[in-house]
Amino acid sequence: MIRRGGETLGLALLAALGVVVVSWALWGHRGGAARPPLEFGAGDLERLDPAATSDDPWLAPDPVAAERAAADEPQDAPLVRLGLRGRVVDVEGRPIAGAEVRWALYRLGGRALRLRAAATTGPDGTFAFDGAAPSHPRLVLVARHDAFAPTVVERRLSGADDALDLGDVVLAAGGAIVGRVLGPGATPVAGTELRLRPAGGNELDRLEAWRELLPAPRVRPDGRFAVERLPAGSYRLQAWAPGLQRVAPETPTIVREGEVTDVGELVLARGYRLAGVVLDPLGAPREGATVRVRDAPSAGRGLSVRAVLRTDALGRFELDHLPDRPLRVEVDAAGCLSWAKEPVVVTTGAELRVQLVAGLALSGRVIDAVSGAPLTRYTSSVREVNPDLEDLETPPVAPPDGLAPPRDHVRGEFVERGLDVGRYVVEAYAPGYVFARSPVVELRADAPAAPLELRLVRGRTVAGHVVDAATGAPLAAARVELRVPPRAAPPATVAVQSVDGPEDEPVDGVLARTAITDTDGAFEFDDLAAAEVFLVARRAGFVTFRGEPFALAESRAGLRVELDAPAVLTGRVAGSTATSERAHVLVYGGVGRLQVVRAAIDGDYRVEGLAPGAYLVRACSGDPRDGLVTLVQPHTDVTGRPLASDVVLRAGEQRELPLVVQAPLLGGVSGVLRVDGAAAGGWRVTVIATQPDASLAPRFVGRHVATVTRADGSFRLDAVPAGARLLRFTPRETDGGASSFVREVNIAAGEVRSLALDL
């Protein structure tokens, strides 16, 4: 049943939805063979460009940040084979024919590669893809149909050939948002527009193509609107009309499956316009200058960005629908000093005239550190830095990815002009040498900077082969990482990250360089600095290898990296019968070696991809995070290793281990909080785990358990993992000088501990 905030909608909407329900039968399975796979190649992928803008600044991303992301995107990812298949069904499990299925490959911090073509499901709801694509770590698949809300499926990829069976991809009816937009005088306004976008935490918010997935909102002449078939999640709405301000609900709008959320009336007030022109140092219009409009601090709203614009061919910029509020306007253009003005008052209607000033220069030369001879072919760059936020004392062990090709420099000299006031470093790299970085240079408008001299030293090489440990055969397409050990590693974290899928084994240290082995299993890293390093190697179908650190005082060749075949653990869990109570199996072999799978209805389980070694194995009912901290953690030492093992696995072995389901050891705590003799209502009470005495002992992370004290100061927390726990009490923001505090409490399984706290 569709409900509005818990109340039943009108008969008209229910009747319309009934048509959709009846039509579901038309999409059911009618027999027939599954469609052949949609074949693709690397040339069939399009790059989703975050620099794409909109005429609405509220929707447009920061073009400067987009350009930086584009520059940082690796261009040399190797091609791997990718096969996908699955079935699109409704919530009742019935196949949906005619659904559109598309996917994209994502790299953290970079742009996405999306398949231009979409597969359409056949009568049995199935789809399939097969082809070659650049290696990316994350796959995002979207399924949509005009009668349903779209759904998103994410999978991690191995970096090598992948064949993924996604199973059933479920499409639901979704929810809806309704409301009304009115102008001054509480009357509808012609030309009213409405925009909808996913808010933070909504799975669509991470997709650069989310605009294509959501229905386009339309405002009727009476000001009313209804946006239907929305996936459950949080959204932000914004409405505006000519000459009026933009208005939006103060908090994100929550959409729930099968419900309609009424946001009420959105009332538009009078709006204002900001316009201006940007001129270069010679007085000519400056096209492409970046204009940021912020709320000025005097407006009491901080420096939040209101819009990011680019000037047109005449150097002009314009922004409408602004409130009567002081603004700060900032202008940046390559080769010029930055410009800013505040407060800017928009109610006067006066236009801004921005005259830019030519930027500053930084120069120097690059030489061989031993001979002192100038290096005439190298790549160099000047980068603005904040020494308080990054380590600039130690240059990278290897040249960073994405460097520009080397070019000729007469007498080894370089000069970079058009810089803004700030702190900079110069970085240089020549083939055969170690990447170098200058000391921090502060550029000021009132004094030129002294010339720099960068001395480059010869680099070292690390080379070897990756082979199958069992057969000695070379392994092609293995990913080899050169890493630098951390100076001071923080305590490791043990947490349930996913269920029914192998965890990515965490590796400490700083990634310096990656390589993909060739057909002979060979890899090589050149131009390395003298440092302590270690190797990590990964390949689909094998256990991740982590080598011991070694000092790179000189070049190292002939290294042999052996990858073990993973082990498999299977069995049956006794006592796991009901579907809702299917047990979770936790297989733990130490930090970075945790897998969690859900047993089948009949109790069978299977855990793949296990590294050789000893494991503690538990089957638990309820939340697996509770099982981790109550059934696994108590049986580990201060380093996180199991005190005793239930099974020892060899490389490539398949072992059977019967299990008996156990309930997590849970208790509770209740009490009353008083501060200065008065009931402390509205305080947040959070359960946190006690940390072992060893400073580097791993931290086991369980389920988040928290509540808020009632008006009389009372509180109660149920389903708290048994053992020594800490309760953190955090006051409301309105409680002036009150500060948070922590109390230790011992929770006994099956009991509720009572506390009386008077501060």
Residues 101-126: tens digit of each pLDDT: 988 887 654 556 777 788 899 999 99
Nearest to 686 by CA among 666, 662, 702, 664: 702
Q: For all residues of the chain together, what is the average pLDDT?
A: 84
The region of weakest confidence among 114-128, 263-277, 357-371, 515-529 is 114-128
Position 514 pLDDT exceeds 60: yes
Mean predicted confidence (pLDDT) in 233-249: 88
Give the per-residue pLDDT at 692: 61
Give the pLDDT score at 160: 67
Quick one: 702 exposed, middle or buried, by C-beta within 10 A (0-12, 13-18, 19+)? buried
* Lowest-confidence region among 230-234, 504-508, 534-538: 504-508
Strand pairing class (38-40; 126-134): parallel
CA gap 122, 107 in Å, rounded = 31
Residue 67 has pLDDT above 60, yes or no: no
The model's pLDDT over 700-746, given as tens digits with 9 standing for 90+, comes to 888 888 898 998 999 999 999 998 888 999 887 655 556 788 889 99
Model pLDDT, residue 395: 80
Residue-level pLDDT at 66: 44
Cis peptide before 198 (omega within 30 of 0): no
pLDDT band at 48 (very low <50, low <70, confident <90, very high): low
Structure tokens that stand for 577 in this block: 């019968």
Q: What's residue 36's pLDDT?
A: 80
51 pLDDT more than 50 = no
Given this model, what pLDDT does residue 304 score?
65
Q: Is the dihedral of CA 320, 321, 327, 332 positive or negative?
A: negative
3-state SS, residue 64: helix
pTM: 0.57
| 187-197 mean pLDDT | 90
The pLDDT assigned to 250 comes to: 81
Mean pLDDT value across residues 251-276? 91
**Residue range 167-188, pLDDT digits in tens:** 899 999 999 999 999 998 889 9
Predicted confidence at residue 198, as pLDDT, reads 87
pLDDT of residue 181: 93
pLDDT, mean of residues 235-246: 89
* pLDDT at residue number 375: 97
369-400 exposure pattern, b = at least 16 Cβ within 10 A, e = fewer? eeeeeebbebbbebeeeeeeeeebeebbbbbe
Q: Are 162 and 79 a contacting pair, CB within 8 Å?
A: no
DSSP string for residues in 658-676: -EEEE---EEEEEEEEEET
For residue 326, pLDDT over 60 is answered with: yes
Asked if residue 436 lies in contact with residue 414, where contact means CB atoms within 8 angstroms, the answer is no
> Which residue from 616, 591, 596, 623 is spatially nearest to 720, judged by alpha carbons?
623
Q: Average pLDDT in the 188-209 region?
A: 80
Instruction: Tell me the mean pLDDT in the region 242-262.
Output: 89
- Report, as an integer, the average pLDDT of 470-499: 84
Q: Given a cut of 70, is residue 237 above it in pLDDT?
A: yes
Of the ranges 375-379, 577-581, 605-609, the best mean pLDDT one: 375-379
d(CA 649, CA 569): 8
pLDDT at 307: 87
pLDDT at residue 735, as a whole number? 53
Q: Taking the C-alpha atoms of 92, 93, 98 and 101 in order, what is their torsion angle to the nearest 10 degrees?
A: 110
DSSP state, residue 713: S
**What is the arithmetic mean of pLDDT over 316-326?**
89
> Residue 694 — pLDDT band, cuts 50, 70, 90?
low
pLDDT given at position 402: 84
Residue 626 pLDDT greater than 80, yes or no: yes
pLDDT of residue 657: 96
Q: Report pLDDT for 316.
A: 96
Res 691: pLDDT: 65
User: In the prediction, which pLDDT does 106 show?
Assistant: 74
577 has pLDDT over 80 = no
Q: Which residues pair with 267 in a beta bridge?
A: 182
Read off the pLDDT of residues 581-608 as tens digits, 9 standing for 90 and up. 789 999 999 888 899 998 988 899 999 8
Residue 153's pLDDT is 85
Stretch 406-416: mean pLDDT: 95
CA distance 683 to 735: 9
Residue 526's pLDDT is what? 95
pLDDT value of residue 64: 44
Q: How far is CA 558 from CA 545, 562, 567, in A?
A: 17, 13, 28
Identify how many contiguous H helices and E strands the chain contains and give both numbers. 3, 59
The answer on pLDDT for 159 being more than 70 is: no
- Give Cα 206 to chain centroid, integer Å: 7
CA distance linking residue 643 with residue 588, whole number of Å: 11
Q: Which helix (H) or strand (E) element contains residue 130? A: strand 126-134
Whole-angstrom CA distances from 289 to 333, 381, 416 are 5, 22, 20
How does residue 11 score in pLDDT terms, banded at 50, 70 and 90? very low
User: What's the confidence (pLDDT) of residue 303?
Assistant: 56
Name the band, by pLDDT with cuts 50, 70 and 90, for residue 693: low
User: Is the confidence at residue 616, as pLDDT, over 90?
Assistant: yes
Q: How many Å from the N-terminal Cα to the C-terminal Cα in the chain?
A: 49
Distance, in Å, from the CA atom of 226 to the CA atom of 174, rounded to the nearest integer, reads 13
Query: C-alpha distances in angstroms, 499 versus 362, 548, 591, 597?
Result: 54, 30, 17, 5
The span from the CA of 394 to the CA of 440, in Å, is: 12
Specify the pairing of strand 706-708 against strand 714-721. unpaired
DSSP 733: T
Work out the percent of the chain whose per-residue pLDDT is above 70: 85
Look at 44 and 576; give whichever has higher pLDDT: 44
H helices present in 508-619, as ranges: none
> Which of 419-423, 425-429, 733-737 has the least mean pLDDT?
733-737
Q: Which amino acid is it at 296?
A: A
Q: Answer whether residue 298 shows pLDDT above 90.
A: no
Residue 62 has pLDDT above 60, yes or no: no
- The pLDDT value recorded for residue 165 is 87
Distance CA(38)–CA(245), nearest Å, equals: 47
Torsions phi, psi for 309 (to 5 deg): -125, 165
Query: Pick from 712, 651, 720: which is nearest to 690 by CA?
Result: 720
Q: How many other C-beta atoms lie within 10 A of the C-beta of residue 569?
A: 23
- DSSP category for residue 555: -
Provide the pLDDT for residue 139. Answer: 83
pLDDT at 80: 80
pLDDT tier at 40, thresholds 50, 70, 90: confident
Mean pLDDT of 382-397: 86
Q: Is 275 helix (H, G, I), strand (E, B) or coil?
A: strand
Pairing of strands 162-171, 112-115: unpaired
| Pairing relationship of beta strands 684-689 and 706-708 according to DSSP bridges | antiparallel
Average confidence (pLDDT) over 247-269? 90
Residues 521-537 have a mean pLDDT of 95
Range name among 209-218, 316-325, 383-392 with the lowest pLDDT average: 209-218
| pLDDT at residue 53 in the model | 37
Q: How confident is the model at residue 138 (pLDDT cuts 50, 70, 90)?
A: confident
Q: What is the average pLDDT across 559-571?
A: 95
Per-residue pLDDT, 22: 31
Residue 4 has pLDDT above 70, yes or no: no
**pLDDT tops 70 at residue 656:** yes
User: Which residues are bridge partners to 353 per DSSP?
Assistant: 277
Of the listed ranges 178-182, 647-651, 684-688, the one predicted with least confidence? 684-688
- How many C-beta atoms lie closer than 10 Å to residue 170's C-beta? 17
- Measuring CA to CA, which residue among 514, 528, 298, 325 is closest to residue 434? 528
- Residues of the chain above pLDDT 90, percent: 51
- Asked if the model's pLDDT at residue 576 lies above 90, the reply is no
Tokens of 423: 């702190």
